[in-house]
Structure 1
């Protein structure tokens, strides 16, 4: 026999291999057939719609948990308002990081946020408080991001002055009012969130 020649199988071995291959093919075909007609045999089946989460930019991302989708939206909004936050923070002598942390905690960068006590917009400023800071428009005007940040930042700057520049005192006076002197549980939690964001 030549070294390059392929050895021929005996007819008996050849038939055995052919039968095994045919049986394997039949098994695969039957398995596929079984799956295709499962619903017609009375077995329970369920059609589940595909959930797709859409981002504001880019391509759709399937099956993104709500927390991640919300975080991404907040990140997009933060970038949208970061220039305004920096502009008015610098104008009023407020550290930009502190101002950004306050906006994040107050509204998660959502300008349409409305609080249960009448707070409005990105910095959750009340119309009466905005008027004390010089705002002369209607309450719904505070939903405008620039207007809200402009007057909210003035209020935050005053809170910082009254709090002696100390972060938790600033947050106490921003959250509980300029006249507040004792740290309450809500303001304490708020300050903890701010400090975590500043790290």
Structure 2
């Protein structure tokens, strides 16, 4: 009798766990735009879970998202950044409305993340801080004793929004790795 109760409780817990995981994957941490994320993550040597985490943090998968600072699309690319990336990718006739196209936005965002990884020697904190706060600011912070003790890592991010952003993307990244990397 006691064995049946234990077995029943274990089965209920197992079913609850799988239902929870399914719900987390489908509704809270989806893998939307998988084809584009996989394609451009591979093309630019990025972890697709990092790209997912950036999209989750930036737009929560809303391809029509526009920030207070007028960043657009899934990966929240500013018009000026989009123009620069478009030139680097030989995109003819770039218009800012093109940033709402999921494939192009993901391609540009992946290119930009790769560019930042190259600039900051794949230091995730620096890459994410630069994605949010600008690489110029990150370079200034690295050259300032108050923010960097060694000129290579940040001991303090002076923009609270950027610090919060870095922490949120890293948390989402770890969740995506846990949910999908099995």
TM range (shorter): 0.5 to 0.7
Residue 72 of structure 1: how far off its partner (Å): 5.8
* Conservation of the 8 A alpha-carbon contact between 1:94 and 1:160: no
Larger Rg: 1
- In structure 2, the residue matched to 1:186 is 161
Residue 180 of structure 1: how far off its partner (Å): 2.1
- In structure 2, the residue matched to 1:121 is 73
Structure 2 unaligned regions, length at least 5: 1-24, 142-156, 175-182
Q: CA RMSD in A?
A: 2.0
Aligned length: 128
Q: After TM superposition, list the pairs within 5 Å mapping 1:1-199 onto structure 2.
A: 75=29, 78-134=30-86, 135=91, 136-181=93-138, 182=141, 183=157, 184-199=159-174
Structure 1 unaligned regions, length at least 5: 1-70
Where in structure 1 do 4 or more consecutive aligned residues deviate above 6 Å?
none
- Point out which structure has higher relative CO (alpha carbons under 8 A, 6+ apart): 2
Residue 80 of structure 1: how far off its partner (Å): 3.3
CA distance in 1, matches of 2:132, 2:168: 13
CA distance in 1, matches of 2:102, 2:128: 21
* Conservation of the 8 A alpha-carbon contact between 1:98 and 1:198: yes
CA distance in 2, matches of 1:162, 1:188: 19
TM-score, normalization by structure 1: 0.59
Q: Which has the higher helix share?
A: 2
